[in-house]
Amino acid sequence: MTIDDTALDLAASVRAGDRSAREILDAHLAAIEAREPEIHAFNLVTSEVARDAADEIDRRVAAGEDPGPLAGVPIALKDNLCTRGVATTCSSKILDGWQPPYDATVVQRLAAAGAIAVGKTNLDEFAMGSSTENSAFGPTRNPHDTSKVPGGSSGGSAASVAAGFAPVSLGSDTGGSIRQPAALCGVVGVKPTYGLVSRYGLIAFASSLDQIGPFARTVADAALVLEVIGGHDPADTTSIPQALPPVREHLDDGVAGLRVGIVSELSGEGIAPDVARRVSEAAEALAAAGAEVGEASVPAAIYGLSAYYLIAPAEASSNLARYDGVRYGLRVDATNTPDMNLRTRTEGFGDEVKRRIMLGTYALSAGYYDAYYGKAQKVRTLIIRDFAAAYEQFDVLLSPTSPTTAFALGDKTADPLTMYLNDVCTIPSNLAGDPAMSVPFGTGDDGLPVGVQVLAPAFGEVDMFRVAAVLEAAAPIGEVAR
Ligand code: GLN
C-alpha cells in the first residue's frame, strides 16, 4: 500500500476486498502526520469521522455490498464547501465557530460513492487570491519546495494531492483557483462547464463564475471524481438539467484529427520563457499524436483580467453582505446594531476581502455602474463571442495555465496587481462559462512543475480530457521531487 496509488486502483482493490478502506485511510493519515506541520494544507483533519466512515465501507464490503466507484478513496475538501456539523471557515475569522447544518451536494455525492473525507483544506480567504497567503490561518506551502507558494486560492487542496495526503481533492474555481494551484503543485485540476457541477453548499464568491472541480494526480482520476460529483441537481438553480459528457469512455480515444489551437493572446508577452517552451512542446506532442495544431486568436481575452476584477468583486460585495454578525460565526458586540455590523466586519474580514468589497461596491454604485460594471459585462460578451469564433475553427485550445512556476512566499503580497496577473490565462474561460483544465507537463528552469491549460467550448469535456490524456502520456519525465 502506497500513498502514490491512484484513486481508481484504491477503489478497485477495496471493492474487490483486497485492501481495506481503513488501511488505506491510515496510510494517508500517516502521511499527513509526517508532513502536514511543514505544508499546512488543512484547516482541519477529520481523522475520527474518517475512520468511522472507512470502517463502515469495510463492513459493507464484508457484507457483499458495493460501496461505489470511490470506495475507500480519501478525499480532501476545500474549506468553502459546507460539511454538516464540521466547521467550515473559508479561511476567514468571520465564520469563526460556524458549523453548516447541511452538506454540499458534492459532499453528499462523494459520500454516496464511497469516498472518505479526510479534512478541510486551506484557501485564500473566501477564495480571493492566487497563493493561499490570504488565509486568516497562515499560508500553505508548496510540497515540491516549501519556500514557494502552492498557488491559490485552492492551495490546500492542490498541496494535499501533491503531498500524497489524499489521491484526490475538490477545489473551487472563480478565476483560476483550481487550475493555477494545480499547475504550481504539478497535479491535474479541472474547472468544468458552468452549471455542470452543483454549487449547492459552496460558499459563494462570485456566483456567475464559481465552479467546483477535482484535483488528482492522474487525468483518469480527475475524470472519475468529475463523474461522481457532476450532473443535474435541483437544489442549485444554475445546475444544468443535462447528463454529464461521457468523459471516461473516451479517455483513450487519442487526438487524431482533433483541431488544437494555441491561443496567441495568452502565449506571448508576460509568459515566462521556460513555461512558454513547455506549451510549445505540448503542442508538438499533440501534433505527433495526430492532432492538427494551429494558431488561434481570442482577441478580447486580453481584457479578461480587467473585466473580471469588476465583475467578481461586484458579485462578492453582494454575496458577502450576509456576514453581518447576526447570521453566521463571529460577532463583535457594540451598543447598537450598525456599530456591531461594522466592528464584526472590520475584525472578521482580512485586507484582500475588504479590498474586493470596496472595489465591488464602487463598481456597482449609482453613477459608476454603467462605466464600470456595465462595461465589464460588455467585455464579457465580447470574450464569449471571440471564444465561439475560435471554436468554429478548433475543437480545443491550448495555453499556459500560469505565466510562471511557483513563486516564493511573500514575493507578490505587497502589490495586488502583480498577484492578480497570475490568472491572466485562466480567467477568460470563467467569463465564458467554458471548461478548462491544467495538466502537468514537465518542469521549468527551476525544476518546479509547469501546467499546460486545455480549454474547450461548453460541454466539450470529452475532447478536453482526450487531449489531457495524451499530454499526460507525453509529459517529459524526470519528475519533480515531492
Ligand atoms: N485569483 C483569482 C482571485 O483572486 C481567482 C480566485 C478564484 O478562482 N477563486 O479572484
Q: What DSSP letter does each residue of 349-363 carry, written as one string?
A: S-HHHHHHHHHHHHH
Read off the pLDDT of residues 50-63 as tens digits, 9 standing for 90 and up: 999 999 999 999 99
Mean pLDDT of 413-442: 96
Read off the pLDDT of residues 422-435 as tens digits, 9 standing for 90 and up: 999 999 999 999 99
Q: Where are the alpha helices (DSSP H) in 16-104?
A: 21-39, 47-62
CA angle 183, 31, 71 (to 5 degrees): 80
Mean pLDDT of 397-414: 97
pLDDT at 477: 75
Q: Please state the separation of Cα 472 from the chain's center in Å.
A: 19
Nearest atom (ligand 1) to Cα of 309: 10
Mean pLDDT of 123-135: 98
Q: Residue 299: which domain range?
A: 1-482
Nearest atom (ligand 1) to Cα of 128: 4
Mean pLDDT of 349-360: 98
CATH code of residue 143: 3.90.1300.10
pLDDT at 354: 98
CA angle 192, 254, 476 (to 5 degrees): 85
Read off the pLDDT of residues 145-183 as tens digits, 9 standing for 90 and up: 999 999 999 999 999 999 999 999 999 999 999 999 999
Does residue 175 line the site of ligand 1, with CB under 6 A?
yes
Number of structural domains found in the chain: 1
Query: Where does the pLDDT of residue 479 fall: very low under 50, low under 70, confident under 90, or very high at 90 and above?
Result: low
pLDDT at 268: 83
Residue 231 has pLDDT above 60, yes or no: yes
What span, in angstroms and rounded, lies between the C-alpha atoms of 175 and 253?
30
The CA distances from residue 312 to 52, 198, 357, 392, in Å, are 40, 19, 10, 28
From 121, 122, 123, 153, the mutation candidate for ligand 1 (largest count of ligand atoms within 8 A of CB) is: 153
Q: Kindly give the distance from the C-alpha atom of residue 130 to the centroid of ligand 1, in angstroms, as a whole number.
A: 6
Q: Are the C-beta atoms of 321 and 344 separated by less than 8 Å?
A: no
Mean pLDDT of 110-125: 98
Q: Are the C-beta atoms of 353 and 92 separated by less than 8 Å?
A: yes
78 is catalytic: yes
pLDDT at 1: 59
C-alpha cell at 263: 491561443
Query: Where does the pLDDT of residue 478 fall: very low under 50, low under 70, confident under 90, or very high at 90 and above?
Result: low
Cβ-count burial 370-384 (b if 16+ within 10 Å, e if not): eebbebbbebbebbb
C-alpha cell at 170: 475538490
Query: Where does the pLDDT of residue 217 fall: very low under 50, low under 70, confident under 90, or very high at 90 and above?
Result: very high
Mean pLDDT of 402-422: 95
Mean pLDDT of 410-419: 94
pLDDT at 2: 74
Share the mean pLDDT of the chain: 97
Q: Kindly give the distance from the C-alpha atom of residue 49 to the centroid of ligand 1, in angstroms, as a whole number.
A: 31
What span, in angstroms and rounded, lies between the C-alpha atoms of 40 and 163?
11
pLDDT at 71: 98
Q: Kindly give the distance from the C-alpha atom of residue 312 to the centroid of ligand 1, in angstroms, as a whole number.
A: 9
The CA distances from residue 351 to 36, 122, 126, 311, 416, in Å, are 26, 17, 12, 19, 11
Q: Are the C-beta atoms of 246 and 192 separated by less than 8 Å?
A: no
Read off the pLDDT of residues 304-327 as tens digits, 9 standing for 90 and up: 999 999 999 999 999 999 999 999
Nearest atom (ligand 1) to Cα of 129: 4
Q: Kindly give the distance from the C-alpha atom of residue 129 to the centroid of ligand 1, in angstroms, as a whole number.
A: 5
C-alpha cell at 185: 503543485
C-alpha cell at 114: 464511497
Does residue 174 line the site of ligand 1, with CB under 6 A?
yes
pLDDT at 331: 97
Closest of 252, 118, 124 to residue 180, by C-alpha? 124
Please identify which of the residues 13, 91, 153, 198 carries the catalytic annotation. Answer: 153
Residue % of the chain over a pLDDT of 90:
97
153 is catalytic: yes
Does residue 222 line the site of ligand 1, with CB under 6 A?
no
Query: Where does the pLDDT of residue 3 fall: very low under 50, low under 70, confident under 90, or very high at 90 and above?
Result: confident
